[in-house]
Amino acid sequence: MKLIILGSGTCVPSLKRNAPGYYLEAGGFQILVDCGSGTLLQLERAGKSYKSIDAVFITHRHPDHFADLMPLIQALLATPKFKREKDLFIVTPCGFISYYEKAIASILGKPKDFSIQLIEIEDKLELGSFNIFTAETVHSTDSISYRFEHGDKAIVFTGDADYDQGIVELSIKADLLIADCSFPDLMKAKGHLTSKECGLVAKRAGVKKLLLSHLYPADIPDIERVREARDVFDGDVLLAEDLMEMEY
């Protein structure tokens, strides 16, 4: 699996950290996990094309996690000298299809040359070369985490999440846990993990590597979150940076 961090930030505009978005590829199947504002430009900067994306996975219906979904579809429909023919899969929590029909399809219409396959995932799914599992998270009424398995490797994206046993169980023995590390410990906010809580999830799940992402601006340097996570987790801890690449 190839992973590129397209956006390690949040809804707060930042020249350093784009809104949430991740590129994941395995077996020639290319997906986005979340696609906040600016994700399409980040794809270009990473040397990947929006034209090749097979599926978009959305963690929840907050704008910073899917704002570029409509621009993606519009680009696929309107790029000169390009005709998309393969289906585009959009995988979402329950309740998103109704929103899509009202807010996106009502404006862009239905593609003539390819199909948009909307899937409201409830538990697990096989798509492309991935086996995908989910868990509800403590954040919003529709928020979920994703676990992507390919061969004997597993990567987990918590999405926006507070601490609970569900994300621990979803993350068991994962090779990489990409965690919502919105704030350092002294700035705890309901519905989000702190640095130490990220470390606690990683420890209790027995993951191999922890990547801290979804970083809100704070009064202390971002790197301090790594130290706080390491207070409880003795495995590898990294701080996400935009356009960082990893292979599994």
d(CA 206, CA 149): 16
- At 41, list the tokens: 């430009």
The residues with which 156 forms a beta bridge, in sequence order, are: 147, 177
Residue 9, pLDDT score: 98
Q: Identify the three-state secondary structure at position 194.
A: strand
- Give the DSSP H/E element, type plus range, for residue 246: strand 245-247
Of 245, 160, 148, 215, residue with least CA distance to 12: 215
Q: Note whether 9 and 215 are within 8 A (CB).
A: yes
Predicted confidence pLDDT, tens digits, the chain (248 residues): 999 999 999 999 999 999 999 999 999 999 999 999 999 999 999 999 999 999 999 999 999 999 999 999 999 999 999 999 999 999 999 999 999 999 999 999 999 999 999 999 999 999 999 999 999 999 999 999 999 999 999 999 999 999 999 999 999 999 999 999 999 999 999 999 999 999 999 999 999 999 999 999 999 999 999 999 999 999 999 999 999 999 99
Class of the CATH-defined domain 2-247: alpha beta
Nearest to 83 by CA among 113, 50, 116, 52: 113
CA distance linking residue 118 with residue 89, whole number of Å? 6
Residues belonging to the active site:
64
Number of alpha carbons in the 13 Å side-chain half-sphere of residue 241: 8
Domain boundaries, the chain: 2-247
| Total-model pTM | 0.97
